[in-house]
């Protein structure tokens, strides 16, 4: 199980009595196994030792301040959500707010909504299509939509689009959708701009026809959320971590980390 584990308490018998040494708790945190520059870098199961990303550095900073250790694991986003709901990890990032996700984990709440002051960061979704297509987003709805819109599986934006009556095509990664787009199997993609823009920049020849359409489709706050099991047994630590996230933004620590990227 992936809850906070305390290592065995070691005792040393001294002339003056017994000295008890207790190890720091270990928190297992899952995040996506594809890069979202600049928030987390690298792909697959590896957590880069150098330049791991803003969010990873932020959490490492908080772990030092609160004296706990982090065990990072990386999975496809759908598996991150599943392992959180099954209490096989203690926390995941970055999760935007969806009512049904409250069954899987615990957000830093303020009354009936997540406390935006304790968000890890704010990200935006943009529309991407083929240069020359008439597809547009007018700020409220799609214009000249004549086909499927690609959305990453289990991303919150999928429900938002489906509630508008938009027919979507789901895939597990952005590259799959970009290949479908240039093959005209879909007419557009709605994805995180901080994720898509670097891919397009690094693959200009392959995706030279792809353009980003403004205005942005949606802007969302993203959180570190804890499993129900972890939260029930570690409420003080969870609250302290959320508080430290807010403090890092307020004091400029977050900005200092971000400047590296």
pLDDT tens digits, one per residue of 100-147:
999 999 999 998 999 999 999 998 999 999 999 999 999 999 999 999
- Domain count for the chain, please give it: 2
* pLDDT tens figures, 238-250: 999 999 999 999 9
Residue 233: partners with Cβ closer than 8 Å, 6 or more residues away: 3, 4
165: left (phi over 0), alpha (psi -120 to 50) or beta: left
40 with 55: CB under 8 angstroms? yes
Q: What average pLDDT score do residues 18-26 get? A: 64
Query: Does residue 114 form part of some domain?
Result: yes
Query: Does residue 80 form part of some domain?
Result: yes
How long is the chain?
A: 261
Is pTM beyond 0.85 here? no
Instruction: Report whether pLDDT(75) > 70.
Output: yes
206: left (phi over 0), alpha (psi -120 to 50) or beta: alpha
Query: Does residue 233 form part of some domain?
Result: yes
Per-residue CA distances from 95 to 26, 77, 154 (Å):
21, 10, 11
Residues 56 and 113 in one domain: yes
Query: Does residue 35 form part of some domain?
Result: yes
Instruction: Report whether pLDDT(74) > 70.
Output: yes
39 with 32: CB under 8 angstroms? no
Please give the residue range of the domain that contains residue 29.
10-120+221-258
CATH number for the domain including 98? 3.40.190.10
What pLDDT score was predicted for residue 163?
94
Query: Does residue 3 form part of some domain?
Result: no
């Amino acid at each position: 199980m992936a809850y906070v584990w305390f290592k065995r308490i070691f005792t040393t018998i001294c002339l003056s009595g017994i000295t008890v040494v207790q190890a720091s708790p270990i928190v297992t945190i899952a995040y996506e196994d594809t890069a979202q520059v600049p928030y987390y870098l690298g792909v697959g199961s590896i957590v880069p030792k150098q330049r791991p990303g803003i969010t990873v550095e932020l959490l490492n900073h908080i772990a030092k301040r609160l004296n706990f250790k982090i065990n990072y694991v990386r999975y496809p986003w759908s598996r991150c959500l599943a392992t959180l709901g099954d209490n096989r990890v203690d926390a995941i990032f970055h999760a935007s707010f969806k009512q049904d996700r409250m069954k899987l984990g615990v957000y830093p709440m303020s009354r009936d909504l997540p406390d935006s002051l304790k968000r890890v960061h704010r990200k935006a979704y943009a529309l991407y299509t083929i240069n020359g297509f008439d597809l547009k987003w007018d700020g409220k709805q799609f214009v000249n939509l004549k086909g499927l819109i690609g959305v990453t599986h289990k991303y919150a934006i999928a429900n938002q689009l489906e509630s508008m009556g938009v027919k979507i095509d789901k895939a597990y990664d952005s590259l799959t959708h970009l290949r479908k787009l240039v093959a005209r199997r879909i007419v557009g993609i709605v994805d995180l701009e901080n994720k898509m823009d670097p891919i397009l920049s690094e693959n200009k020849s392959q995706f030279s026809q792809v353009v980003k359409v403004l205005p942005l489709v949606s802007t969302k706050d993203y959180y570190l959320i804890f499993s129900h099991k972890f939260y029930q047994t570690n409420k003080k630590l969870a609250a302290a971590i959320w508080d430290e996230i807010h403090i890092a933004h307020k004091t400029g620590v977050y900005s200092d980390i971000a400047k590296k990227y």
